[in-house]
């Protein structure tokens, strides 16, 4: 089954799945379940050995028996059109180019959509893409990576500090991951781009929708030299929960997370909890957060570290790598 139809099957299965998208991920990572879901031909027929049939999970059987082939065809055409126009490519969790760090978490999305860099578009043509695509796995898994997140509405001082930290770390080879939102996220991306570094913009919408619209130029620049990533089907709009789900991917793609600012009930705090749940180090920016009670409590518990410079972050990342914590 080619990658466009695979993506079509996954998207149709997600419409039918009764619970979490990660349940579909589990099916795809099981050889037997995967063969049940993806092994059917275009007429819906399945050739599965009798011995293997007994190992099929109830959910895999349910999805395979009830999946709407019309929806499979619909999504296959949508994805193929987007890929043909050079907007994005689908990346199933079964693809060896799917980032290892993300695949290892328990709630990894079954399917990502990733942008193509300008240089990739110049050297590859649809539908015959080279092995180098997509760059995401190389950019993330080949070296250190750091999530930088914070408030959409923040001070000029925090914006300036974020740009400096992101630029300093990106210039030393750290991939900068953030959420393409206004405020701290945008500053993190700008800092990485200014240093000629690699940055990943994880979106809370479909990959062909940019929010906020004021970040269209920034998204275009990330698409040119970095990577835009979405776990949502194109052209999905934003929702209240889509940005929280996006935070899971930001935390999982990164070796560690740096929180520049945020209140106790903010998305930044949610990012902290998610990164800690994945066993990833978390740093809080001292000049902004050092006095916050929720940050002090986490520091006293030994859960996070206060940092005040890019150099400190770099030292922590290097130590974590040596100790095998990332």
**Domain spans, the chain:** 3-113, 143-323
* Structure-block tokens of residue 34: 């995967």
For 254-281, what is each residue's pLDDT tens digit? 999 999 998 888 888 899 999 999 999 9
Average pLDDT of the segment spanning 52-74? 90
**Global pTM?**
0.90
| Cis check: omega of the bond before 175, within 30 degrees of 0 | no
Query: Above 80 in pLDDT, residue 236?
Result: yes
Q: What fold does the segment set 143-323 form as a domain?
A: Rossmann fold (3.40.50)
- The pLDDT value recorded for residue 2 is 86
* Structure-block tokens of residue 292: 């916050």
Average pLDDT of the segment spanning 56-74? 95
Residue with tokens 């993806």: 38
Rounded to whole angstroms, the Cα distance separating 96 from 100 reads 8
Query: Above 90 in pLDDT, residue 49?
Result: no
Query: Above 60 in pLDDT, residue 24?
Result: yes
Provide φ and ψ at 19, rounded to 5°.
Answer: -135, -125
| Cis check: omega of the bond before 240, within 30 degrees of 0 | no
Query: Above 90 in pLDDT, residue 179?
Result: yes
For 69-109, what is each residue's pLDDT tens digit? 999 999 999 999 988 887 789 999 999 889 999 999 999 99
From 200, 192, 209, select the one nearest 229 (Cα to Cα). 200
228-252: b or e for each residue (b if 16 or more CB lie within 10 Å)? bbbbbbbebebeeebbebbbbbbbb
For 109-162, what is each residue's pLDDT tens digit? 999 999 977 666 555 444 444 434 556 767 777 789 999 999 999 999 999 999
Query: Above 70 in pLDDT, residue 47?
Result: no
Query: Above 80 in pLDDT, residue 284?
Result: yes
Contact 271, 243 (CB under 8 A): no
E-only strand ranges, 39-125: 89-92, 111-114
* Structure-block tokens of residue 304: 């996070």
Rounded to whole angstroms, the Cα distance separating 25 from 109 reads 6
Provide φ and ψ at 2, rounded to 5°.
Answer: -75, 165
- The pLDDT value recorded for residue 86 is 73
| Residues in CB range of 272: below 8 A, 6 or more apart | 257, 259, 282, 284, 298, 304
């Amino acid at each position: 089954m080619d990658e466009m139809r695979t993506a079509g099957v996954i998207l149709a299965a997600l419409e039918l799945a009764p619970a979490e998208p990660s349940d579909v991920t589990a099916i795809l990572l099981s050889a037997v379940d995967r063969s049940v879901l993806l092994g059917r031909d275009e007429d819906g027929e399945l050739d599965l050995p009798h011995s293997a049939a007994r190992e099929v999970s109830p959910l895999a059987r349910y999805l395979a028996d009830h999946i709407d082939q019309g929806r499979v065809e619909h999504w296959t055409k949508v994805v193929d059109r987007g890929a043909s126009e050079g907007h994005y490519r689908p990346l199933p969790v079964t693809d060896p180019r799917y980032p290892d760090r993300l695949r290892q978490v328990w709630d990894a999305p079954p399917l990502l959509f990733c942008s193509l860099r300008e240089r990739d578009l110049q050297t590859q043509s649809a539908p015959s893409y080279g092995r180098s695509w997509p760059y995401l796995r190389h950019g993330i898994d080949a070296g250190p990576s750091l999530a930088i997140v914070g408030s959409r509405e923040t001070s000029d001082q925090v914006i300036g500090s974020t740009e400096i930290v992101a630029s300093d770390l990106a210039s030393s080879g750290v991939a900068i991951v953030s959420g393409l939102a206004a405020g701290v996220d945008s500053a993190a991306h700008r800092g990485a781009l200014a240093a000629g570094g690699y940055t990943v913009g994880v979106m809370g919408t479909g990959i062909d929708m940019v929010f906020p619209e004021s970040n269209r130029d920034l998204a275009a620049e990330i698409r040119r030299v970095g990577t835009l990533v979405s776990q949502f089907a194109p052209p999905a709009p934003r929702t209240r929960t889509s940005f929280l789900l996006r935070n899971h991917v930001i935390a999982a793609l990164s070796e560690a997370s740096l929180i520049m600012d945020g209140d106790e009930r903010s998305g930044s705090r949610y990012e902290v909890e998610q990164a800690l749940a994945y066993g990833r180090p978390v740093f809080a920016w001292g000049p902004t957060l050092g006095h916050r009670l929720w940050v002090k409590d986490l520091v006293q518990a030994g859960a996070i570290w206060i940092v005040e410079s890019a150099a400190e972050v770099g030292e922590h990342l290097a130590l974590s790598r040596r100790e095998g914590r990332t």
